[in-house]
Structure 1
Amino acid sequence: MSITTITTAQRAERERQVAEALHSGEMEGLPASEATKADTDKYVAGEIDLVELEARVRTRYEIV
């Protein structure tokens, strides 16, 4: 796990990007699991970076 220091503006941008991605998935009939939502919260907070978020999602859903 990597912890990243992010600014308020970066956090706001991450929140926007995550909300957009989750909404897009829902519109396609692919709602995010609670575990994935917890991971996106960690990403928004700067507790993990995008590489770690992607790795977790790929592992969870067995995406190669």
Structure 2
Amino acid sequence: MNIDFVFKIAAIGIIVAVLNQLLIRSGREEQAMMTTLAGLIVVLMMIIEQISTLFETIKDLFSL
């Protein structure tokens, strides 16, 4: 895992936080919650790919 991955997750977090605040201030709490959930799902999918790569590397390392 390189530093670019961490920056991508941080950028998504910042964008979601700004959108969340904008939507809450305009009275659209439901859309703010959906935006937050969508951001969480995107980050989780990115992390799942990295965990899959980690398991493949461990599997190759120990020749399982």
Q: Any gaps of 5 or more consecutive residues in structure 1? A: 1-5, 49-64
After alignment, is 14-23 or 28-37 more displaced?
Answer: 28-37
Checking the alignment, whether the CA contact within 8 Å between 1:25 and 1:31 is kept in structure 2 is yes
Question: How many residues align structurally?
Answer: 42
Which amino acid in structure 2 is aligned with residue 38 of structure 1?
L
Residues 32-60 of structure 1 show CA distances to partners (whole Å, capped at 9, x for unaligned) of 358613222112x1527xxxxxxxxxxxx
Identity percentage over the alignment? 10
Q: Any gaps of 5 or more consecutive residues in structure 2? A: 47-64
Which amino acid in structure 1 is aligned with residue 21 of structure 2?
H
Separation in 2, partners of 1:32, 1:25: 9
Matching residue of 1:17: 15
Please give the TM-score of this superposition, normalised by the length of structure 2.
0.51
Please give the TM-score of this superposition, normalised by the length of structure 1.
0.51
Q: RMSD between aligned alpha carbons?
A: 2.7
Which amino acid in structure 1 is aligned with residue 38 of structure 2?
D
Larger Rg belongs to: 2
Checking the alignment, whether the CA contact within 8 Å between 1:18 and 1:40 is kept in structure 2 is yes
